[in-house]
Amino acid sequence: MFLVLIETSGNQNFIFATNKLKENIGASELTYRVGTQWLLEIIGDIVKNPNLKLWQDSDLLRQNLLNSNHNPPIEDDKQSIEIIIAVSGKALLITKDKEIAQDIITQLTTKCLKEAPGINVTGVYVEFDWNKPIQDAVKQVYRKIEIAQSNLFSSEFRFLKLPILSHCDTSGLPASQIEINPENDKIPISQVSFTKRNSANDSLKRMDKLVQKSNFKFPENTNDLEKNFEEKLNWLGIVHADGNGLGQIFFKFEQFIDNDLKSFSEKNRDYINKLRKFSLALDLCTQNAFKEAIKVFKDNGKISINENKTNEILPIIPLVLGGDDLTVVCDGKKALEFTEKFLLTFEEETARNDLEDVGNIINEVSRKALKSDGLSSCAGVAIVKPHFPFSVGYDLAESLLKSAKTVKNNVQNNDNKTVSCSALDFHIVYDSSGVDLELIRGRLELKENENIHTKLYKRPFVVTPSNKLKEATEFSQKWAKFYDWNEFKNKVKLFTKNKRNSQNENDEKKYLPPNQSNKLRSALFRGKESGDAQFQLIYKRYENITIELAESDKSLFQITPINSKENNKKTVYTTSFLDALDATDFL
């Protein structure tokens, strides 16, 4: 038998290389189709099963892959192909013949060259013995595809610029045709950009199926988004979320499933069934969490698109939604609330033992892998002005996601293994002169002396409630409490109350006036001593609020918990004052 792995690479560059959101949406759709529509159409033709070609409805796709009548086990004498995984940009399957494995890879890569120019797709296969552990073959095929991808030329080599050609306005690739924009200007575009744009509407129609039972729909493109929300959308949020520890779970999957069967063939069948279920369950949990999270837009984030209000358009565009990945563009005012809701719901969904069609597979795996009922996720949220370059905003969101992922190093159990814990980091781009996160955060760190450092930011924040971190060490629980998201939101509410009361001059002492906030901000940049001195000057006068603002006794600062394993003798003082000021209009 032959294990076949087909995978796209360089997805982020393919999807987010341009500032045209319509192209980003279309590129995401093309990536999705590689591992779903196009693969299933090819296999459906080979095995003569039209049911496998039904891919647009995610529920039906899941049910077909789990149905042994439509996707029979490879042990069946009449069966030549079995699909294990078929998700966005990735497929894992078994064939009985090498020729079929080669044919599937050839047909799919050829299809991609024609239908999705610019995308990188690699397919490899390995032969294995069904009476030996299949997980060894899985590891082997993943190693093989890494080598194949490293030897693959960049897709740009397919688009030569000699003889001299006009450049595409958005991608920089050689232009292949002319497009007329709304102002009747002739715009040269490449075949890559043209294909992406033509796929954007199909993506949003597919996403619309997720909310078709409600009275909501997604914008068809960014022009509609700006047009319908011109009065409301002063900010756009770019949210990028990713599950924690999934790579290691997939790599060591056999260790995390109950498998007491005796023969290798029985164990292999159990491994395949559970791996398929786990992959489909991840997709389902991410979609469910997304559907729940968009409810934050329901009350005041919707715009009627016709007079009888039979449809309401949501101020959000999903770019990537599959597996454990989520990337959306949405109303920046609601971006943090949406992200919090998504992360918490993702935890709840993965902890369920009654997921539709897939039962408790994630719960079973996460208990063994992470000693928790479910999985967790982290997110980066970049909040920018509507006309800010999208690719730059996405890069910032990705950097913020990496920052949030540092939670894995600090929330661990006694065996030094990561405890399932969600976190988010955010940045609001008020000044577009520099959006390098390392430089931004570097300007907020002050070196008082050799032994004392001051951080004027507290991000990232832990979203997972503390009562779910009981498996963590005492230090980890203390660390998570220090960065607790709910406590941070309480700080933000103090400033929100300030804004509401700012016109009530007779009640001045019950809130902190903006001029006092600005004085504190300026003092903080001169160091801890200066910041605390300014804070103590106003402490008594505004005691109703300063008591709640204080991080420790009459101070805006608190000593940061540092793991003793780091062998760090420095004392680091941290304040969330500036974080809370930044988030005042967004929570």
Segment 334-381, tens digit of pLDDT: 999 999 999 999 999 999 988 888 889 999 999 888 888 899 999 999
The whole-model pTM stands at 0.91
Are the CB atoms for 134 and 3 separated by under 8 Å?
yes
pLDDT at 304: 39
| pLDDT tens, residue by residue, 120-149 | 999 999 999 999 999 999 999 999 999 999
Select from 456, 494, 413, 420 the least CA-distant residue to 249: 420
Q: How far is CA 396 from CA 379, 392, 402, 412, 433, in A?
A: 12, 6, 10, 27, 13
Sheet holding 316-322, edge to edge: 316-322, 325-331, 236-243, 377-384, 423-428, 461-462
DSSP 8-state code for residue 418: B
Tokens 């959306």 belong to 328
| pLDDT tens, residue by residue, 503-552 | 555 555 567 888 889 999 999 999 999 999 999 999 988 888 888 899 98
Select from 205, 171, 24, 192 the least CA-distant residue to 119: 192
The CATH architecture of the domain made up of 2-155 is 2-Layer Sandwich (3.30)
Are the CB atoms for 437 and 448 separated by under 8 Å?
no
Select from 332, 316, 124, 138 the least CA-distant residue to 220: 316
Q: How confident is the model over 224-231, as a mean pLDDT?
A: 59
Q: How confident is the model over 425-445, as a mean pLDDT?
A: 88
pLDDT at 305: 38
Q: For residue 416, what pLDDT band results from cuts at 50, 70 and 90?
A: confident
Angle at the Cα of 416 from the Cα atoms of 415 and 418, rounded to 5 degrees: 110
pLDDT at 513: 82
Distance CA 264, CA 528 (A): 64
Distance CA 402, CA 523 (A): 30
Mean residue pLDDT of the chain comes to: 87
User: What would you report as the CA-atom Rg of the chain, rounded to the nearest whole angstrom?
Assistant: 26
**Centroid of chain to Cα 358:** 23
Distance CA 494, CA 511 (A): 8
Select from 237, 181, 187, 563 the least CA-distant residue to 400: 237
Instruction: Give me the amino acid identity at 550.
Output: A
Distance CA 583, CA 580 (A): 5
Distance CA 387, CA 399 (A): 20
pLDDT above 90 coverage of the chain, percent: 51
Label the pairing between strands 186-189 and 558-559. unpaired
Query: Around Cβ 445, how many Cβ atoms within 10 Å?
Result: 13
Are the CB atoms for 562 and 572 separated by under 8 Å?
yes
The CATH architecture of the domain made up of 214-433 is 2-Layer Sandwich (3.30)
Tokens 């939670």 belong to 407
Q: How confident is the model over 317-330, as a mean pLDDT?
A: 90
**2-155 shares its CATH topology with 214-433:** yes
Burial annotation 98-110 (CB, 10 A radius, 16+ → b, else e): eebbeebbebbbe
| pLDDT tens, residue by residue, 168-222 | 888 888 888 888 877 788 888 888 999 998 888 888 888 877 777 666 777 765 5
Q: For residue 469, what pLDDT band results from cuts at 50, 70 and 90?
A: very high
Domain layout of the chain by residue ranges: 2-155, 214-433, 444-587
